[in-house]
Structure 1
Amino acid sequence: MTDETLDPKMNPTETLRRALGDRYLTYALSTIMHRALPDARDGLKPVHRRILYAMRELKLASKGGFRKSAKISGDVMGNYHPHGDAAIYDAMARLAQDFNVRYPLVDGQGNFGNIDGDNPAAARYTEARMTAAAEALLEGLNENAVDYRENYDGTLEEPVVLPAAFPNLLANGSSGIAVGMATNIPPHNLEELIGACLHLIKAPNARDETLLEYIPGPDFPTGGVIVEPKENIAEAYRTGKGGFRLRCKYEVEDLGRGQWQVVITEIPYQVPKSRLIEKLAEVIEAKKVPILADVRDESADDIRIILEPKSKNVDVEVLMGMLYRNTDLETRFSLNMNVLIDGLTPKVCSLKEVLRAFLNHRRDVLIRRSQHRMEKIDHRLEVLEGFIIAFLNLDRVIDIIRYDDSPKTALMAEDWGKTHVRAMDEDDYVSPVAGGEMGLTENQAEAILNMRLRSLRRLEEIELVKERDALMLERAGLEDLLDSDDLQWKTIAEQLRETRKQFGASYEGGARRTTFAEAGVIEDVPLEAMIDKEPVTVVCSKMGWIRAMTGHIDLARELKFKDGDEGRFIFHAQTTDRLLVFGSNGRFYTVGASTLPGGRGMGEPLRLMVDLPNEAEIVALFIHKPGNKLLVASSAGDGFVVPEDDVIAQTRAGKQVLNVKGDVRAQVCSDVKGDHIACVGENRKVLLFPLDELPEMGRGKGVRLQKYKDGGLSDATTFTLEEGLSWLDPAGRTRTETELGEWTAKRAGAGRMAPRGFPRDNTFT
């Protein structure tokens, strides 16, 4: 907290606001820079970088032995990353999962999880070491290739960034959520990435579209098929934001006799196989894809998911199209290329900017390694010159070492002029230093004193000269490299080609796995087209238990129901029919006849299939007839005509059509047939009026059909006036009344008492 924040004269609210702001900003910056976003140069977050560096310090080379994962995560936590060991182990385990990481950086031994979504075993049970790809990222750390910084407690040093021999950010991808920003980068193919880098070296101003000739899109470790249009991919790479539609890869397996099955061999990236199987099973259970009969998981080391169609006549494209819509057999991977440029500035970068950041980093690494090598060469040349002087003046050197009290000081003070130059053969090399007026440097004198006696052979002297000449030649080459930009980029290109040879298409698993295809148009296939048309008899009890019995049975046949229950609705239908349910709450619900339970038992409660409240009753249950119209009315005597096509519900919640409040409930739902409406109230008064006096609506309370002093509406129906109004008398015989002038009046009238013989239950049916 600053002194300004602690000023006692300030408003306490302002003081708190500033304190919270300062602390939240510090937290946000820490999350962005040190946790969630990867560095564009090596493509790693701090935890991953520290894991690899700690494994290097433990000498866990790709061809060496394994160490316990608990030891590795413990070293990372104790030395470099003071956070939970569980989080560190999870991060390390992910680097070993070949279904999550395109080029694994950790070689795991033991259970490191699987594509089913199972978690890795505990750290004490698994072992790990680095892969060759990880060693390529670390190559050059001993040569001052990058800067180091102190660890969290100042006792050790860690690299700020890794040298990174290949563009790991794009090769393995990354994802993370920071404060106010996030990143999500898919994996890519290393062969293609290096090809794009080499082109960018030749043509620094290359267009984004040109780079897509080398990098057509992501390359996911689990394969799959990208169906995103090319123009969308180009736009995503140009802006750094977009997405890729990814589908499973499948093949059709012929079983003979016209039978076949679909075999899924690759699933979309980051979709757990077990969850995918569960979703497919749910789709079958809910009959969302009626043409799918069964799903089986026959996977071993490879993916093999079997989809069995309902019938051999099912179209494969239709089946897969429905599954793409209803399951994770098609997913969308979002691209958000938000990375840290130079490890400091978060920025959403294009594909070209990310590749350029990597290449600039490789140039910095090359220059630093070259300068470090020159320093080593200069030091060695200095020592070699001292050795050559010693060999040319061997007797004098021996005398000084044998008799002088301080041989190091004497060697440095001695004037190694021509008087001490030993006669050499004509072909011998004469050091330029030997004829000078200079003494030895401290490094040279120290090296001479530490020289072994066995090194005084004449052959060794020749080897020293050859070594010096070779180092001088190497040094000249390094000077030319540091002075020439073209030579630097040429060297970087050569290094990238060597990396491509090591990890390119010829590398195990280096070939492209994800393919490309056109998405095509997934047509809206009617439910009826996916269901075999078969006759059924729909039976629904008074308590709402519904079932579909195979075939068209005799409707008068006696059926079994639960104790205290009885039949209410029974009618013939087809499996392709849609059934409409009208509840006393004024809502319509839609149920597919093919989804009804079989008729062997008592069925299932209709309330399990739709969200019909317990307090609501079933007013009507019938087959949907396209183009038909319905008369709906409430117990209060209000109603209207509604097109049947408008009451189809798309969800379990149904569709509200007739608005009712309080004690009022939906009472009537009947087909509109004829030109007049007949209403009868609980007071047994009947009113007839023309149908055109009733409005046609999609939803509402409606208008008054009949007026009552006491009670409400009992029933309503439509009929043709010329044919007369019919009803069943108490004896069960149909009676038709054609002289209806006494009961015909304007809508909303009170009506007259029902004619003689009208049913005592006040209904027309």
Structure 2
Amino acid sequence: MSDTEGSTEHAEPLRRAIGQRYLTYALSTIMHRALPDARDGLKPVHRRILYAMRELKLSSNGGFRKCAKISGDVMGNYHPHGDGAIYDALARLAQDFNVRYPLVDGQGNFGNIDGDNPAASRYTEARMTAAAEALLEGLNDDTVDFRENYDGTLQEPVVLPAAFPNLLANGSSGIAVGMATNIPPHNIEELCDACQHLIKTPDARDDTLVNYVTGPDFPTGGVIVEPRESILETYRTGRGAFRLQSKWRIEDLGRGQWQVVVLEIPYQVQKSKLIEKLAELIQTKKVPILADVRDESADDIRIVLEPRSKNVDPDVLMASLFRQSDLEVRFSMNMNVLIDGRTPKVCSLKEVLRAFLDHRREVLLRRTRNRLGKIDHRLEVLEGYLIAFLNLDRVIEIIRNEDEPKSVMMAEFDLSDVQAEAILNMRLRSLRRLEEMELRKEHDDLTQERSELMDLLDDEGLQWAKISEQLRDVKKRFGKSTELGRRRTDFAEAVEVADVPLEAMIEKEPITVVCSQMGWIRAMKGHIALDQQLKFKDGDEGRFTFHAETTDRLLLFGSNGRFYTISAANLPGGRGMGEPVRLMIDLPNEADIIDLFIMKPGEKLLVASTAGNGFVVAQDEVEAQTRGGKQVLNVRDPVRAAICRPVSGDHVAVVGENRKVLVFPVDELPEMVRGKGVRLQKYKDADTKLTDAVTFTRAQGLSWTFGEGKTRTVNDPELAEWDGKRASAGRMAPRGFPRDNKFTD
């Protein structure tokens, strides 16, 4: 058998083995790590942390224990993973800015909203909260299944009884293999109201349930500005997003001055990074109307935003910041959960509430059956006690005289083993007459309770009534009347401010733009005389100087055929030599600056290459949104872009290195957005280049400058000598035409 045949023989089993092992890993990740259980809303690590804390008797009104001890117990007994991962999960359950209803009461440094990490586990202490105890209520009453821990030495619960819908109350997030989950936190009282409605109306639709669960309730507050239709669709499908804004107000400083104070920031946004981003927006002048940002937070959030001018509209300022920073976020929801702890499914609001209610009914039935078993056992014992009291002298005689009193009593009084054992273990002081009366009362009470429990097991209506009563108790403990349960996240309609024009964001001030031959650009304050002598670096000289406003946008056309957009407000000041324009835009070193001018929306440009090709393009089409610019005129070496002129007339005049001039109507040029263009002038020699092109109004004649400020104008009928069709050769320039073959200096 050849080597090739041997490799083929073993390829399939290897492929199958890898596939099977990866599938096993994927299922393990999905079921035992990343996705929460729809019934108690917990992942295994959180469930094990709470169970371990319960075993350590860390009740909400008891003492604290070191987190190192808790993490160690969780790792050693139930969760054989790194103690760092366990402590991170434990610490998060204590962070009131991350968890809506914290399940761990932490003492010490458990991190903060700035993004600082908790202290090491040996320095912090913890115990359970009342909410955690509510999740564990009834664990001793055989309400849920238990399974062996990882090494088979202990038992751990498969799921917790969960007195409230923790999945939605605290939310969850995780990334599994091929799927993920992201569920926002909600208000417990609203969830309980929705559950009670679902109990009364089992076929209720998601649209109706949203009347009760109006939307997420984030621990950090904020304002949800998502339209109601979108919220309905999100809860109906289990997928969607909520638009969440910071809560802010305007503080009056007197004399017309004001500042914005941000009081609440979106969920899971680190305050320190948010401040850094706002400072960066100021530094890069992306929001020119924002002058300063200060963090004055103590226990509460207080971020102060100072406008550059009191005339700025606060809504415009905040709309710009919402658009460019994490003062507004979109919180995605993907309600991917484990149904019955086994099947991953993207559920609607109704489906997860239904899963919780069905779980609560199962817990109720198991708890009832467990209580019935205990009552039956106790009744059996009580009946034995009563028989003993009725035959007390004979019982004492048997115990005193018989070698095997248990078997004798069982035979004589028809007692069960349990009853005989209980009688033999009875204390002498229990032989009082009063004790008999108490036993009879206890027997009657237990008989009554047993009857009620049997009725409960037989009547589904009574079961749901009991669950509804339990939900009312949860509302009383964690509802909106409590400090913990009050709704924190508000709702509002988004204040939609149209794309804010730069002019509205920048204070309009006159400047003079100066750009040198080597490409150093600056903005002088005010409109200075354009012929004023200015300083430049050694070997450099002025090239472009023109008046502008800080609200203007400048267009730079490069010899690579790309247009670049520069905000005049972002230009460096005029005290020094400025900065290289190539630091502000990504103009390649091999490309030259062809032209620099103020953008005038609505007007058109004539662009052309050295090869004599060109077209007309609207200025609105050449504005670039990025530093990389926008390709408009397509050129390939050795051809380069050469001409960029405003279109202001009805005719075009072009001239090449051969000094031939051609005049034709502008209408013969196509208007394009991008391309190589069409031939403007024909050259016999392939090396001949186009040197200039201008547009002019025929009635006013064609003018050019020569000498020192002198101008010559050619009108009809003399001008007709150079008329021709586009792409023709033209005729020699008139006598006195500039030697540089350009119509303007």
Q: TM-score range by the shorter chain?
A: over 0.9
Which residue does the alignment assign to 1:343? 341
CA drift of 1:623 comes to: 1.0
Distance 1:198 1:740, change over 3 A: closer
CA drift of 1:141 comes to: 0.7
Choose the corresponding residue for 1:309, options 307, 310, 316. Answer: 307
Q: Distance in 2 between matches of 1:203 and 1:745?
A: 85
CA drift of 1:278 comes to: 2.1
Amino acid at match of 2:594: V
Does the alignment pair 1:734 with 2:732?
no
Q: Distance in 1 between matches of 2:24 and 2:479?
A: 42
Does the alignment pair 1:451 with 2:426?
yes
RMSD: 2.3
Q: Distance in 1 between matches of 2:742 and 2:130?
A: 85
CA drift of 1:254 comes to: 0.9
Amino acid at match of 2:277: K
CA drift of 1:459 comes to: 2.8
Distance 1:763 1:342, change over 3 A: same
Does the alignment pair 1:364 with 2:334?
no
Q: Spell out the pairing of 1:120-139 with structure 2 (5 A cutoff).
A: 120-139=118-137
CA drift of 1:445 comes to: 2.6
CA drift of 1:620 comes to: 0.4
The SS at the match of 2:543 is strand
Does the alignment pair 1:762 with 2:741?
yes
Which residue does the alignment assign to 2:490? 515
The SS at the match of 1:91 is helix
Is the Cα contact below 8 Å between 2:315 and 2:495 reproduced in 1? Answer: no
Is the Cα contact below 8 Å between 1:730 and 1:757 reproduced in 2? Answer: no
The SS at the match of 2:429 is helix
Which residue does the alignment assign to 2:319? 321
Choose the corresponding residue for 1:712, options 673, 689, 693. Answer: 689
Which stretch has the larger CA shift, 573-582 or 483-492? 483-492
Amino acid at match of 1:486: G
Which stretch has the larger CA shift, 515-524 or 11-20? 11-20
TM-score (norm 2): 0.94
CA drift of 1:701 comes to: 1.5
Which residue does the alignment assign to 1:568? 543
Q: Alpha-carbon deviations, 1:666-725, whole Å to 9, x = none?
A: 111122334443333345454444444433332221233331524422333233455454
Which stretch has the larger CA shift, 354-363 or 203-212? 203-212
Q: Distance in 2 between matches of 1:468 and 1:97?
A: 49
CA drift of 1:308 comes to: 1.6
Q: Distance in 2 between matches of 1:505 and 1:627?
A: 57
CA drift of 1:501 comes to: 0.9
Q: Spell out the pairing of 1:18-417 with structure 2 (5 A cutoff).
A: 18-413=16-411, 415-416=412-413
Is the Cα contact below 8 Å between 1:633 and 1:666 reproduced in 2? Answer: yes
Does the alignment pair 1:588 with 2:563?
yes
Q: Distance in 2 between matches of 1:691 and 1:441?
A: 115
Distance 1:480 1:749, change over 3 A: closer
Q: Distance in 2 between matches of 1:395 and 1:284?
A: 97
Which residue does the alignment assign to 1:429? none
> Which blocks of at least 5 consecutive residues in structure 2 are unaligned?
1-5
The SS at the match of 2:311 is coil
Q: Distance in 2 between matches of 1:458 and 1:696?
A: 113
Q: Distance in 1 between matches of 2:462 and 2:727?
A: 98
Q: Distance in 1 between matches of 2:694 and 2:57?
A: 89
The SS at the match of 1:123 is coil
Q: Distance in 2 between matches of 1:214 and 1:731?
A: 82
Distance 1:742 1:363, change over 3 A: closer
Q: Distance in 1 between matches of 2:530 and 2:73?
A: 79
Which residue does the alignment assign to 2:459? 484
Which stretch has the larger CA shift, 324-333 or 536-545? 324-333
The SS at the match of 1:170 is helix
CA drift of 1:387 comes to: 2.6
Is the Cα contact below 8 Å between 2:701 and 2:713 reproduced in 1? Answer: yes
Is the Cα contact below 8 Å between 1:41 and 1:161 reproduced in 2? Answer: yes
CA drift of 1:276 comes to: 1.9
Is the Cα contact below 8 Å between 2:172 and 2:184 reproduced in 1? Answer: yes
> Which blocks of at least 5 consecutive residues in structure 1 are unaligned?
1-7, 417-437
Q: Spell out the pairing of 1:661-676 with structure 2 (5 A cutoff).
A: 661-676=636-651
The SS at the match of 2:88 is helix
CA drift of 1:136 comes to: 0.5
Which stretch has the larger CA shift, 444-453 or 99-108? 444-453
Is the Cα contact below 8 Å between 2:584 and 2:627 reproduced in 1? Answer: yes
Is the Cα contact below 8 Å between 2:513 and 2:521 reproduced in 1? Answer: yes
TM-score (norm 1): 0.91
Q: Alpha-carbon deviations, 1:208-249, whole Å to 9, x = none?
A: 332222211111111111122222222222222222221111
CA drift of 1:591 comes to: 1.3
Q: Alpha-carbon deviations, 1:106-144, whole Å to 9, x = none?
A: 111222221122222222222211111000000111111
Q: Distance in 2 between matches of 1:33 and 1:230?
A: 33
Q: Distance in 1 between matches of 2:432 and 2:539?
A: 116
Which residue does the alignment assign to 1:529? 504
CA drift of 1:385 comes to: 2.6
Which residue does the alignment assign to 1:635? 610
Distance 1:46 1:692, change over 3 A: same
Number of residue pairs aligned between Structure 1 and Structure 2 = 735
Q: Distance in 1 between matches of 2:359 and 2:678?
A: 78
Which stretch has the larger CA shift, 691-700 or 54-63? 691-700
Q: Distance in 2 between matches of 1:666 and 1:160?
A: 72
Distance 1:753 1:44, change over 3 A: same
